[in-house]
Structure 1
Amino acid sequence: MSKIHAVVLAAGQGTRMKSKLYKVLHPVCGKPMVQHVVDTLASMRVEDVVVVVGHGADTVQATLGERVAYALQKEQLGTAHAVQQAASFLQAKEGTTFILYGDVPLLSEETLTALLHFHEDQKAAATVLTAVLPDPTGYGRIVRNDSGEVMEIVEHKDASDEVRAIKEINTGIYCFDNQKLWNALVQVKNDNVQGEYYVTDCIGILRQAGEKVVAFEAADPDETMGVNDRAQLSEAEAYMRKRIAVRHMKNGVSIIDPLSTYIEADVTIGSDTILQPGTYLRRGTTIGSDCVIGPQADLSNTKVADGVTISYSVLVDAKVDEQATVGPFAYVRPGTEIGPQTKIGDFVELKNAKIGKGTKIPHLSYVGDAEIGEGVNIGCGTITVNYDGAVKHKTVVQDGSFIGCNTNLVAPVTVGKNAYVAAGSTINQDVPDDALAIARERQVNKPGYANKLPRKSKKE
C-alpha cells in the first residue's frame, strides 16, 4: 500500500449554526466534529494530515494540538482553493490523498478503509465516495459509463430529467493519486456564478486527460451526512449515539433502553455490565465488568472498577474501586477515590476525598479534602469543616473509627485508629487511637420551665 495523506477542510464559518462556537468544534457525542475525523484518520495510521483552517483557526489548533499540520485559508474561495493551501505540505509527495470535511463526523474507519482499498485496487487517478439516496434532490449526480467508471458529476440544477432520475450522488469525499490531484488543481478555473474553485472540477479535468475515475458507494449513506445547522447536528448525534450503543452491546454490555442511554465517544465498558435508563457516560469514563450503572447516573471522566453499582448519582473526575456502591443521590466531585467494598449512600457529597476499603458513609454527609481509612463508619449528618474562608484543610479519619451522627470535624484534624466520636460533637482537636471523644454541652433539664414560655392558644 502506498503512503496515505489527507486534507481535512475545516475553514468554513458555519453561519447557519448561529453560534459563537466555530462550526467544526460543535460536539457530537462529546467530541468536536473535526476531532472525530482526525481520530479516524489516526486509527488508520494516515501519514500526513493537513487541516485547512480559516475562521476560528486558533481554537481549532488548540483542540487538535500538534498531531496534525495546519494550512490557513484566508479567503473562502471554494473547495479547490482550500485544498491548494496544503500545497507546501503535500505537493511533492507520492501516494494517495483523502479529501475530507471537518463537518462530516460520522465516516467510519471501515468505510474509509474500503474506499482506499477500492481506489488502489482500481489503480484510479480519483475515486469518488458516493451514496444512493431515496430522494437525491439538490445533490450532484454520478454519471457512469458501461464499465462503471465516472464520466461526470452533474449538479442538480444543471441536470436533465434523465440525469435527475439517477439516485447515486456525490458526497464530496474523494481519494486521489496525490500527484495527479495537484496537477489537476492548477487547472481548476473559477468561471462560475460564485467565482469559486471547486474540487469537483478535478474529476472532469482528469477524465479529459484520459485518467481513470471511479466511484465507490458507501454501504450506509448516513455516514456521509454533513452538519450545517443545529437540526443536522442533532441527527448526527442520534446516529452516532446509536452506533456507539450497538458497538458496546456487541461487546457484551446490556443497555436496557438505548434510546434513553447516552454514551459519548471514547467511553470503555466491560462485559456483563448493565446500563439502566437515564445513564449518561461522558468522555474519559471507563467502566469495568459486572457493574450496574443507573438508573439516572451521570459520570464524567470517571474510572469505575468491576462489580460496582451506581444509581441516581453524579460523579466527576473520580475513581471507584471494585464492589463499591454509590447512591442513590450521591454527588462525587473531582479528586475523589472510593475504595473497594465501600458504601456511599443517599445525599452524600464527596470532594477530593480518599475513602478506604469497606468504609460506610450511608447518608446526609459532606466529606471534603479528607482521607478516610478502612472500615470506618461515618454517621448521618457528619460534616468535614474543611474551609476557613481562605484555605482548605485536611481531615484524617484512620482505620476502624466510628463517627457518630451530626458530627462536625473541624480541619485540620485527625481521628486515630479505632476511635469513637460521640454523636453531636464538634471536634477541633486530634482524637487519639482507641479514644472516645465527646465535644458537646452537657444536657440540663429545668422542670416546669416550659410553662413560663409564651404559647399560642388552641383557637389560634
Structure 2
Amino acid sequence: MQRQAVILTDVDTSLMKSNTHTTLHKLCGTTILQHIINQLKLSGVYDIYLTSKEGLDETFESYPVLTDATQLEKQDTVFVDSRSPLIFNEMYQSLYEEDMDNIYVVDGQVLIASHKEVSNLKLDTIDNMAKQIGAVEADFGVFIVETRKELANARYLYQTVILDKLMDNGVTIINPEQTYIDSTVEIGMDTIIYPGAVIEGETVIGENCEIRGDSELTNARVGNNVQIRHSVITDSEVGDGTSIGPFAQIRPGTKLGESVKIGNFVETKKSFVDDGAKVSHLSYIGDAEVGKRTNIGCGSITVNYDGVNKYKTIIKDDAFIGCNTNMMAPIEIGERSVIAAGSTVTDDVPSDSLAIARERQTTKENYYKN
C-alpha cells in the first residue's frame, strides 16, 4: 500500500525560548524534524510534505510545501506534528495494522486518514482534523516536544533506545546513565564503552575496542582492537590495534595506521602516522607524515607554521627523533636517521644519518657567588 505524509511545521515554537525553530533542535545528534522524516521513511512513507518552511534550513529544501489538501495523491496519509520525534517506524506500522480507516494519537499528535477524507481536511491542528472525521484514538501515547524540559526528557528516552539497541548487538555499556551516544553512531561487537564517553556524529567503532571514560569521539572511524583513554578524536581515522591517550587530542585530518601508539598529552593535526610508529608523550605532530616504526621522543614538535603559511614535515620509516626536538618545516628526515635530543633541525636529513643541531655546552665553574 502506498502511503504519504504531511508534517505540520507551522506550529507554535515560542515555548522553546529560542531563535532556532523547535524542530531544528537536536535530539541525540539529529534534528527533531529529521528524526520524524527518518522514521517515516523506515515505515515505508517516502512522499513527504511540509506545511511551511519558515524558520527551517536548506536541509529540507527538497520537501514540497503543502498549501492545499487537493495536492495530495489518492492514498492513505499520515499527518504528524513536527515536534513528535519519539514516534518510531514500528509505531507507524502498528497504527496501519490496526485496520482502521482513521487513527488519532492524542499525545503524540498523529493522524492517519484514508484518501476519502484527505480532500476534506483543513491544514489546521491535527486535533481539529481528527474531530472533523471522527478519528479513533490509538492505544499508545507519546508526547510532543515544546520546551527545553521536554527536549531533555525526549533525549533521555531516545538515548535509552539507542543504548539498548547497541547492547542487544553485543556492545558493553558499563553505565548507560553516564554515556552519551548519537543515533548515527555504529559500534562493533565486544567493544566496551566506559562511563562519561561522548560519541557523536558519523562515528564508526570496530570490534573489541575499549573507549575509556571522558573520551569524546566526533566523526571518527576507529578500527578493531583499539584502546582510547580520556582523549578527544575529531574527524580522524584510527587503525586496528592502535592505542591513544590518556589526554591526547586527535584533531581533524589525522590518520593513524595500525598498532600506532599516541600517548599522554600528544596532539596531532592533519597528519598521517604509519603502522607501528610511536609518539608517546608531550608532542605536537601537525601537517606531517610519520613513517613506519618511527619513534618520536617526548616534547618534540613539527614546527609547521611561520605565521603566514603552513608547511609539511616528512619523517620516513624507522627514524628516531630524540626528546625536545624542533623540526622546522618544510623538512624531510630520511629512513633510519637519528635526531639528537634537544636539536632544532632546519635542513633535510639523509637516510642513515645522525643530526645534531644544538650549541656545544659551556660550563663556567665557580660561577655562584655569595
CA contact (8 A) 2:316 2:334 kept: yes
Matched, 1:69 2:64: yes
1:301/1:417 Cα in 2 relative to 1: closer, same or farther (>3 Å)? Answer: same
- Match of 2:115, as an amino acid? N
Counterpart Cα distance in 1 of 2:309 and 2:162 = 43
CA contact (8 A) 2:81 2:108 kept: no
CA contact (8 A) 1:12 1:55 kept: no
1:86 Cα deviation from its structure 2 partner: 5.0
- Match of 1:206, as an amino acid? I
CA contact (8 A) 1:7 1:86 kept: no
CA contact (8 A) 2:80 2:110 kept: yes
Alignment of 1:47-446 (within 5 A): 47-57=46-56, 59=57, 62-66=58-62, 68-71=63-66, 85-87=67-69, 89-90=71-72, 93-118=73-98, 121-122=99-100, 124=101, 126-129=102-105, 169=106, 171-185=108-122, 197-207=124-134, 213-218=135-140, 221=141, 224-446=142-364
- Match of 1:216, as an amino acid? A
Counterpart Cα distance in 2 of 1:6 and 1:128 = 14
Counterpart Cα distance in 2 of 1:281 and 1:43 = 24
Counterpart Cα distance in 2 of 1:327 and 1:238 = 29
Counterpart Cα distance in 2 of 1:170 and 1:291 = 41
CA contact (8 A) 1:6 1:97 kept: yes
Counterpart Cα distance in 2 of 1:65 and 1:380 = 51
1:204 Cα deviation from its structure 2 partner: 4.1
1:377-432 residue CA offsets vs partner (Å, 9 max, x unmatched)? 00000001000111110000001000000000110001011111000001111110
Counterpart Cα distance in 2 of 1:49 and 1:335 = 37
1:436/1:65 Cα in 2 relative to 1: closer, same or farther (>3 Å)? Answer: farther
1:70/1:335 Cα in 2 relative to 1: closer, same or farther (>3 Å)? Answer: farther
CA contact (8 A) 2:84 2:109 kept: no
1:86/1:325 Cα in 2 relative to 1: closer, same or farther (>3 Å)? Answer: farther
Question: Runs ≥4 in structure 1, deviation > 6 angstroms?
Answer: none
RMSD (CA atoms)? 1.7
1:35 is matched with 34
CA contact (8 A) 1:277 1:294 kept: yes
Identity of aligned residues (%): 37
Counterpart Cα distance in 2 of 1:255 and 1:408 = 42
1:199/1:19 Cα in 2 relative to 1: closer, same or farther (>3 Å)? Answer: closer
SS of residue in 2 equivalent to 1:70: coil
- Match of 1:100, as an amino acid? V
CA contact (8 A) 1:50 1:89 kept: no
TM-score normalised to structure 1 length? 0.77
SS of residue in 1 equivalent to 2:15: helix
Counterpart Cα distance in 2 of 1:318 and 1:262 = 19
1:109/1:447 Cα in 2 relative to 1: closer, same or farther (>3 Å)? Answer: same
1:233/1:204 Cα in 2 relative to 1: closer, same or farther (>3 Å)? Answer: closer
Counterpart Cα distance in 1 of 2:288 and 2:107 = 60
1:89/1:426 Cα in 2 relative to 1: closer, same or farther (>3 Å)? Answer: farther
CA contact (8 A) 1:29 1:265 kept: yes
SS of residue in 2 equivalent to 1:290: coil
Q: Which runs of 5+ in 1 are unaligned?
A: 72-84, 130-168, 189-196, 208-212, 456-460
Counterpart Cα distance in 2 of 1:390 and 1:40 = 48
SS of residue in 2 equivalent to 1:174: strand
1:414/1:89 Cα in 2 relative to 1: closer, same or farther (>3 Å)? Answer: farther
CA contact (8 A) 2:192 2:208 kept: yes
1:203 Cα deviation from its structure 2 partner: 3.7
1:88 Cα deviation from its structure 2 partner: 6.1
1:344 Cα deviation from its structure 2 partner: 0.3
CA contact (8 A) 1:181 1:202 kept: no
- Match of 1:404, as an amino acid? G
1:113 Cα deviation from its structure 2 partner: 1.2
1:268/1:86 Cα in 2 relative to 1: closer, same or farther (>3 Å)? Answer: farther
Counterpart Cα distance in 2 of 1:284 and 1:54 = 26
SS of residue in 2 equivalent to 1:246: helix
CA contact (8 A) 1:128 1:170 kept: no
1:53 Cα deviation from its structure 2 partner: 2.1
- Match of 2:14, as an amino acid? T
TM-score normalised to structure 2 length? 0.96
SS of residue in 1 equivalent to 2:65: strand
1:451 is matched with 368
Counterpart Cα distance in 1 of 2:361 and 2:303 = 24
